[in-house]
A and B are shown apart, each in its own frame.
Chain A
Amino acid sequence: SQTIHQWPATLVQPVGSPLSLECTVEGTSNPNLYWYRQAAGRGLQLLFYSVGIGQISSEVPQNLSASRPQDRQFILSSKKLLLSDSGFYLCAWSALSDGANVLTFGAGSRLTVL
């Protein structure tokens, strides 16, 4: 069966510090991978998605970046965090062959920038 792991679960970082959130998927090959941010009272915001190694699409201009160094690994990074980067970050995957594109989410990473 497929599983998705995301870490760290919680993170408290000072403004201006770097960020790295990691996500890995097991039990499947060539998944679509996604990074979302969820702010209180708002819908999930798609930040990045990837259909293959090294292929990253950015949906929203920001000081975040994403990389996919391996087929089942997706990393969200920042060189210098802003206060507005605080939020709940979710990694997700879907099967390339799934026409319905059902997403399976990781447990999430709660980031607080102080």
Chain B
Amino acid sequence: GQNIDQPTEMTATEGAIVQINCTYQTSGFNGLFWYQQHAGEAPTFLSYNVLDGLEEKGRFSSFLSRSKGYSYLLLKELQMKDSASYLCASMDSNYQLIWGAGTKLIIKP
């Protein structure tokens, strides 16, 4: 079956660094996505990885290891506005997205 696993909730301190992990098992693989979703709002696109390695985009970076079925989202210099849920999604061989349940990130001052 197809499955995405990510932690339910994480807590971090303002100004610190946090890493949100995601493991995936999908029928085929056409890329790994991270989306940010603030409470009560729609998800917004953060990153897309299709090749192994680290993609850096400002304070956010995303890593992919296809052989391990593993990705992480790294958030640096955390700000209070980063408090949100982070959704991991894998695109399968039919180009359909399989979504994780999301990781709720709580930032404390």
- Distance in angstroms from B51 CB to nearest chain A CB is 12
Q: Does B12 contact A (CB under 8 A)?
A: no
CB distance from B56 to the nearest CB of A (A): 17
Q: Is A107 an interface residue (CB 8 A)?
A: yes
Per-residue A-contact encoding for B1-45, CB less than 8 Å = 1, 0 else = 000100010000000000000000000000101010000111111
A70-106 vs B, Cβ < 8 Å mask (1 yes, 0 no): 0000000000000000000010000000001111111
Taking the closest CB of chain B, its distance from the CB of A30, in whole angstroms, is 16
Interface residues of B in 60-109 (CB under 8 A from A): 87, 89, 91, 95-102
Q: Is the CB of A43 within 8 A of B45?
A: no
Are B31 and A105 closer than 8 Å at their CB atoms?
A: no
Least CB separation from A57: chain B residue: B96
A44 within 8 A of B: yes
A90 touches B42 (CB 8 A): yes
User: How many A residues face the partner with a CB closer than 8 A?
Assistant: 18
Residues in B with CB closer than 8 Å to A100 are: 31, 48, 50
Does residue A61 face the partner (Cβ distance < 8 Å to B)?
no
Closest A residue to B4 by CB, please name it.
Answer: A43
Q: Chain A: which residue is nearest B33 at the CB level?
A: A102
* Chain A residues whose CB sits within 8 angstroms of the CB of B8 once the complex forms: 41
- The 6 tightest CB contacts between A and B, nearest first, are A43-B99, A105-B42, A44-B99, A43-B101, A100-B48, A108-B42
> With A43-B99, A59-B96 given, can you name 16 additional A-B contacts, CB distance below 8 Å?
A43-B4, A43-B89, A43-B102, A44-B43, A44-B97, A46-B97, A101-B91, A101-B97, A102-B33, A103-B35, A103-B97, A104-B45, A105-B42, A108-B40, A108-B41, A108-B42
